Structure 1
Amino acid sequence: MKKEILLAAIFVLIVGVFLAADPVEGYWVSVDDKTGNPTAGWQIYQSGGKLYGKILGVVGYPPDVKADKCKESYPNFPVPGKVNQLPVRGTPWIFGLTMDKPGQWSGGNVVDPETGNIYKCRITFRAADGKRYKVDTLEMRGEIGLGIGRSQFWRKSTQAEVEGQR
């Protein structure tokens, strides 16, 4: 009987670890590198074993703004239709990332809807440590190739704050 209880407890623990959300998932606010001001609110989520990120709120733009600076299509873009006619809000601009290890994803892309540029994308969760990272932080790195690119550091947020970005 004790052996069965022990095995059941181990099973529950293992299932819990695999079903727990990855720390990159959730709501994040992107921040301008120079001013430190919020630029957009994002939801990062998994679907079919891949990681995606969609904008839920954009500072300084009306809610119905279209991504008209984008191309008509991008390789492996997850939404059908002409990309340059899609709304900025609600469209997954980050797509196709696969998990390297919990809290670290790569191998996908990010499209900047403001410019239409596409970049290779890596995302890494940085837990608050009270030193370099005062709050839980998401490092979103866009690259053009050969490691050339830049990182943005987004802060953990709530759904209400993200959707309220205007």
Structure 2
Amino acid sequence: MTKQSLLFLLFFGLFAMHTSAQNITGTWKTIDDETKEAKSYVELYDASGTLYGKVTKLLKSAPDKKCDKCPDERKDQPILGMIILVNMKQKEGYYQGGDILDPEKGKWYGCKMWLKDGDPNTLVVRGYLGPFYRTQYWYRVQ
């Protein structure tokens, strides 16, 4: 094997490891940033290069809880099964450019997400409203 081939394989291997380490699809347990309690499971999934998230399990609320404060077509719809994360794209090492809904408050926030440094099972989720933001830590379930 030539030196160039070895360098190429090394580079490709490192790139593949970095790319796979950034995969955030799957199910995550959400933790309320105010109460520190587990709230729900959210499944993050890719649809044609765009990341979305839907609530797959409620941990604090009854499974038939409705989003009575939601501002759009989600108003008075069940939170279970609701898409609460939309239009996220991976850019500059983050998932960003989309929005996240807080069903408890009925508000949409701009969103940025990334894996915590050194911990591929902890997702940092930051919701923005103008210059203000809230940060939650979600934990990988599967």
TM-score tier by shorter-chain length is: 0.7 to 0.9
Structural RMSD (CA): 2.7
Instruction: Quote the residue 1:43 is aligned against.
Output: 43
Per-residue deviation, 1:128? 3.9
Instruction: Quote the residue 1:97 is aligned against.
Output: 88
Structure 1 unaligned segments of length 5 or more: list them.
74-81, 130-134, 159-166
Q: Deviations over 1:104-154 (max 9, x none)?
A: 21010011111111110111112545xxxxx721000000013x2121111
Per-residue deviation, 1:59? 2.1
3-state SS, counterpart of residue 86 of structure 1:
coil
Asked if the contact 1:109–1:119 (Cα under 8 Å) also holds between the matched residues in 2, the reply is yes
The CA distance in 2 between the partners of 1:96 and 1:52, in whole Å, is: 6
Q: Residue 115 of structure 2 aligns to which amino acid in structure 1?
A: F
The CA distance in 2 between the partners of 1:114 and 1:34, in whole Å, is: 12
Q: Residue 98 of structure 2 aligns to which amino acid in structure 1?
A: G
TM-score computed with the length of structure 1 as normaliser: 0.67
The CA distance in 1 between the partners of 2:57 and 2:92, in whole Å, is: 29
Instruction: Quote the residue 2:75 is aligned against.
Output: 84
**Runs (4+) of structure 1 moved beyond 4 Å?**
19-22
Structure 2 unaligned segments of length 5 or more: list them.
none
- The higher-RCO structure (CA 8 Å, 6+ apart) is 1
What count of residue pairs does the alignment treat as equivalent?
Answer: 132
Asked if the contact 1:136–1:156 (Cα under 8 Å) also holds between the matched residues in 2, the reply is yes
TM-score computed with the length of structure 2 as normaliser: 0.78
Within 5 Å, which residues of 2 pair with 1:9-158?
Answer: 17=16, 22-71=22-71, 73=72, 82-101=73-92, 104-128=94-118, 136-146=121-131, 148-158=132-142
- Structure with higher strand content: 2
Per-residue deviation, 1:155? 1.2
Per-residue deviation, 1:22? 4.6
The CA distance in 2 between the partners of 1:108 and 1:37, in whole Å, is: 25
Q: Deviations over 1:54-76 (max 9, x none)?
A: 111122222122212111x2xxx
